[in-house]
Amino acid sequence: MHGLVMLDRSGSVIRPAILWNDQRTVAETLQLSSVVGREKILQLTGSLPQTGFTAPKLMWVRNQERPLFNRMWKFLLPKDYLGFLMTGEPFTDVNDASGTSLFDVGKRRWSYEIVDSLGLSPDLLPEVLESPLSRGDLTRSAAELLGLRAGTPVAAGAGDQAAAGIGAGAVDDGPAFINLGTSGVVFTGLSAYKHDPEGRLHAFCHAVPDKWHLMGVMLSAGGALRWFRDALGGVERQVGSLTGQDSYEILIQEAAQVSPGSGALIFLPYLSGERTPHADPFARGVFFGLSLLHGKPHMVRAVLEGVAFAIKDAVEIMKAINVNPSQFRAIGGGSRSGLWRQILADVLARPVYQMPVEDASAYGSSILGMVASRAFTGVETAVDRTVKLGELTSPNGSNSETYGKQYEIYKRLYPALKEAYRSLENLSEFLHV
């Protein structure tokens, strides 16, 4: 999502794509907010502009590489460029377009008000389709390359998390999914457009026609556990290499020996800054409450609990705007851990299902393909027929009470450290870290 692919009139790529995680557009992001207005852009796009979004990238190319910008015929998102190569048609879909800062999410169309405010030509915009519609048929040359049949319909598609929403069955009000990948995502479908007035969540068009979704993103979820393993889990890695046991499983077995609350140890999982709810690139990880009583198992469990608290932050914002998920469905590599699913259920005080399909994005994409090829009449029908729930983890009331008390301390820590984080960034620059 969010990446910028620029094409000239011959359909050739003008420059290397600028991807979602590129941070060069800080000045353009601030300019976008200033020109359009914070409240207006939140109302229209459902999200505050981010350095990774597409509109600031367009502005950066215009500012820094004007000859290339002037050659541009259309811009596409990366998956839409693949669709262009497969069909010859330059389309995008409503979900991916929602992450450009140029899209009227409530009305599911480009916001020409924003486009005009930024001085961009509407001619640069690709036509927008609903995700399960066909963007065109597979050309003969593409079919030969892929080993498929020419004329096969190609779905408009969606971004990874909206596709995962389909694969996990989070297509309407009620169920939400939690993606415990390198980053963490909490995602719930909506039957009507709704956004967080403070911009702490992303509100996008869903890949399901006439549906929307809210999404909170934590930058370090499974990535926090990986950091701990790599930095402090040398023994576990050695044992794993000798026995064939997964080093993550060894660490989690150690954490399971510790009671909920990790002996009053709290971990802030901001190892790469944070997006939801703080939108602070300067935030950093913290173990709070370390004492002589704590060992490695306490620290591992605190990491798992800290990620769950960060997910709860996003869920609490959803509740504040009257969106209250009834259950959660866990996907991603971290969902394999029964302990982590139990911690999530206890922290959120809601049931958590492990989904049988770990890569729900690929599964949801296949469902979009089936609808585009008319194997099913609609996304919801396909989901009812193909998406199954896995193992249920129910919350433990006593543990939930413990975590409720701990969360009250957790959510006080970032505000207390916010200014210190900025001072730490100055020190990092001085030390050339």
Where in the chain are the domains?
5-150, 158-433
Is 160 marked active-site?
Answer: yes
**C-alpha span between 307 and 222 (Å, rounded):** 8
**C-alpha span between 258 and 89 (Å, rounded):** 56
Tell me: cis bond preceding 277? Omega within 30 of 0 counts: yes
Cβ atoms of 307 and 218 within 8 Å: the answer is yes
- Topology at the third CATH level for domain 158-433: Nucleotidyltransferase; domain 5 (3.30.420)
pLDDT for 400: 98
Q: What is the dihedral of CA 193, 78, 91, 358, to 10 degrees?
A: -60
Distances 221 to 33, 153, 155, 245, 271 between C-alpha atoms, Å: 29, 36, 31, 22, 9
Distances 391 to 249, 301, 337, 364, 398 between C-alpha atoms, Å: 18, 22, 12, 20, 21
Q: Which two tokens stand for residue 271?
A: 């190892």
pLDDT for 281: 86
Cβ atoms of 87 and 81 within 8 Å: the answer is no
The whole-model pTM stands at 0.92
Residue 405 burial (C-beta neighbours within 10 Å; 0-12, 13-18, 19+): exposed
Cβ atoms of 360 and 177 within 8 Å: the answer is yes
Distances 328 to 89, 202, 275, 278, 358 between C-alpha atoms, Å: 37, 18, 21, 23, 14
pLDDT for 23: 84
CA atoms within 13 A on the CB side of 59: 28
Give the largest CA-CA distance in the chain.
68
- Report the residue count for the chain: 433
Instruction: Please report, in tens digits, the pLDDT of each residue of the chain (433 residues total).
Output: 999 999 999 999 999 999 988 889 989 999 999 999 999 999 999 999 988 899 999 999 999 999 999 999 999 999 999 999 999 999 999 999 999 999 999 999 999 999 999 999 999 999 999 999 999 999 999 999 999 999 999 999 999 999 999 999 999 999 999 999 999 999 999 999 999 999 999 999 999 999 999 999 999 999 999 999 999 999 999 999 999 999 999 999 999 999 999 999 999 999 999 989 998 989 999 999 999 999 999 999 999 999 999 999 999 999 999 999 999 999 999 999 999 999 999 999 999 999 998 899 999 999 999 999 999 999 999 999 999 999 999 999 999 999 999 999 999 999 999 999 999 999 999 998 8
pLDDT for 358: 81
5-150 CATH choice from 3.40.50.2300, 3.10.105.10, 3.40.50.1980, 3.30.420.40: 3.30.420.40
Residue 305 burial (C-beta neighbours within 10 Å; 0-12, 13-18, 19+): buried
Residue 14 burial (C-beta neighbours within 10 Å; 0-12, 13-18, 19+): middle
pLDDT for 137: 97
Cβ atoms of 167 and 387 within 8 Å: the answer is yes
98: left (phi over 0), alpha (psi -120 to 50) or beta: alpha
Which of 160, 196, 313, 346 is labelled catalytic?
A: 160
